[in-house]
Amino acid sequence: MSAQNQIRRTTVPQIARRKGGEPIVSLTSYHAHTAAIVDKHADFILVGDSLGMVMHGMESTVGVPLDLMIMHGKAVVRGTKKALIVVDMPFGTYEESPNIAFRNAAKIMKETGCGAVKLEGGKRMAETIRFLTERGIPVMAHIGLTPQSSHVLGGFKTQGRDEDSWPLHEEDARAVSEAGAFAVVLEGMVEPLAAKITKQIDIPTIGIGASAECDGQILVLEDMLGLNPWTPKFVKVYGQLGPMIEQAVSDYAEDVKSRAFPTEDQVYR
Ligand SMILES: Nc1nc(=O)c2c([nH]1)NC[C@@H]1CN(c3ccc(C(=O)N[C@@H](CCC(=O)O)C(=O)O)cc3)CN21
Ligand SMILES: CC(C)C(=O)C(=O)O
Ligand SMILES: [Mg+2]
């Protein structure tokens, strides 16, 4: 098959060009079958390190290993054909030096086939963002509430409540934009700060708990499907899958006990 015949995925420059235009749609996914559904409607899909908490029951994202991100990244790339796939770099795989970050980001891209990586941090990560983008690895930045630093921040706390902190967040946004990031996630940030940052920088801002002032939105798929028992305030629940799964499981249990399942339809003769 020639390259032209393949369905082209959304590209990094296409996302970057959406600044100030039609809002960018994104969700997380960690899983081939759900990713195939999300792929029909999302511009990009994030294989987020939130998978440590959502899929593996961890208390934070700090313990997520690189190999786990690669495994879920492969699953999502295999399950999709249209969306840009972005994979989170997990804690401890990029902070130390641009060289180490490049090695691990290249491993993620080569082994998963994703189109970009995401890493947390503003001004402090600017040199690394430049190092990676100049060498062929597109980087999405992530500032504000950065869950990998929750031990320093004192938990998952909304940022910018105190106006005195705004200049630091604005500086982070400018630094990642100037370093070559193609977009930046603004997480857990008061609305006026997210609005100010979105106006100040040339790359799209993707909000999560950061208001409709951003250039796009992202949510954790399981949260908006009603599968998370501790849904934060910024989540809108679009489907109640938790109760649906429970009903199906309890119907199945009843049918097994009463021998109503399997029936003629499910039996080999
Ligand atoms: N399932 C899931 N969804 C997420 O959005 C998510 C993860 N996991 N794991 C990684 C981070 C952690 N996130 C979180 C976790 C908790 C709150 C939270 O409890 N927020 C409080 C606000 C606290 C404040 O205002 O200071 C809330 O009540 O919404 C926020 C973001 C966002 N990310
Ligand atoms: C919430 C998004 C932005 C994320 O980083 C994740 O899912 O890990
Ligand atoms: Mg993340």
Q: Nearest Cα to 235, choosing from 266, 269, 267, 207?
A: 207
Residues 6+ apart with CB under 8 A from 256: none
Within this chain, do residues 37 and 149 fall inside the same structural domain, yes or no? yes
Within this chain, do residues 164 and 260 fall inside the same structural domain, yes or no? no
- The answer to whether 187 is a known catalytic residue is yes
Render pLDDT for 17-68 as a digit per residue (tens, 0 to 9): 999 999 999 999 999 999 999 999 999 999 999 999 999 999 999 999 999 9
Within this chain, do residues 261 and 155 fall inside the same structural domain, yes or no? no
AA letter at 227:
L
Q: Which two tokens stand for residue 253?
A: 């249990």
Q: Give the whole-angstrom CA distance, residue 163 versus residue 114.
A: 38
Within this chain, do residues 265 and 170 fall inside the same structural domain, yes or no? no
Phi, psi of 187 (to 5 degrees): -110, 140
Residues 6+ apart with CB under 8 A from 241: 225, 226, 227
Render pLDDT for 189-242 as a digit per residue (tens, 0 to 9): 999 999 999 999 999 999 999 999 999 999 999 999 999 999 999 999 999 999
pLDDT score at 8: 84
- Do 105 and 132 meet the contact criterion of CB atoms below 8 Å apart? yes
Within this chain, do residues 181 and 255 fall inside the same structural domain, yes or no? no
Phi, psi of 141 (to 5 degrees): -95, 170
List the residue whose alpha carbon is closest to atom 21 of ligand 1: 232
Within this chain, do residues 177 and 53 fall inside the same structural domain, yes or no? yes
Within this chain, do residues 201 and 253 fall inside the same structural domain, yes or no? no
Q: What is the pLDDT confidence band of residue 6, given thresholds at 50, 70 and 90?
A: low
Q: Which two tokens stand for residue 101?
A: 């970050």
Within this chain, do residues 62 and 165 fall inside the same structural domain, yes or no? yes
Please identify, by atom number, the ligand 1 atom nearest to the C-alpha of residue 230.
Answer: 19
110 among the known binding-site residues? no
How many structural domains is the chain composed of?
A: 2
pLDDT above 70 as % of the chain? 97
**ipTM (interface pTM):** 0.97
Within this chain, do residues 234 and 263 fall inside the same structural domain, yes or no? no
Query: From the CA of 151, how far away is ligand 3's center (Å)?
Result: 15
> Is pTM beyond 0.80 here?
yes
Question: CATH number of the domain that 207 lies in?
Answer: 3.20.20.60
Render pLDDT for 116-143 as a digit per residue (tens, 0 to 9): 999 999 999 999 999 999 999 999 999 9
CB atoms within 10 A of CB 109: 18
CB atoms within 10 A of CB 92: 15
Domain region containing 213: 3-238
Within this chain, do residues 65 and 161 fall inside the same structural domain, yes or no? yes
Q: Is the CB of 104 under 6 A from ligand 1?
A: no
Question: Mean pLDDT across the chain, nearest whole number?
Answer: 96
Flag whether pLDDT at 3 surpasses 60: no
Within this chain, do residues 163 and 261 fall inside the same structural domain, yes or no? no
CB atoms within 10 A of CB 237: 15
Query: From the CA of 250, how far away is ligand 1's center (Å)?
Result: 30
pLDDT score at 210: 98
- Do 135 and 178 meet the contact criterion of CB atoms below 8 Å apart? no
Q: Is 58 left (phi over 0), alpha (psi -120 to 50) or beta?
A: beta
- Do 106 and 84 meet the contact criterion of CB atoms below 8 Å apart? no
Q: Which two tokens stand for residue 178?
A: 């100037």
118 among the known binding-site residues? yes
Closest-approaching ligand to the CA atom of 226:
1
List the residue whose alpha carbon is closest to atom 7 of ligand 2: 48
CB atoms within 10 A of CB 47: 29
CA distances (Å), 51 to each of 17, 48, 204, 218, in order? Answer: 29, 6, 24, 15
Closest-approaching ligand to the CA atom of 89:
3
49 among the known binding-site residues? yes
What mean pLDDT is predicted for residues 151-176? Answer: 97
Within this chain, do residues 14 and 54 fall inside the same structural domain, yes or no? yes
pLDDT score at 1: 46
Q: Give the whole-angstrom CA distance, residue 119 versus residue 46.
A: 12
pLDDT score at 211: 98
Q: Give me the helices (H) in the chain, please.
A: 12-16, 32-38, 51-54, 66-79, 98-112, 126-134, 150-153, 166-178, 191-200, 221-224, 241-257
- Do 75 and 34 meet the contact criterion of CB atoms below 8 Å apart? no
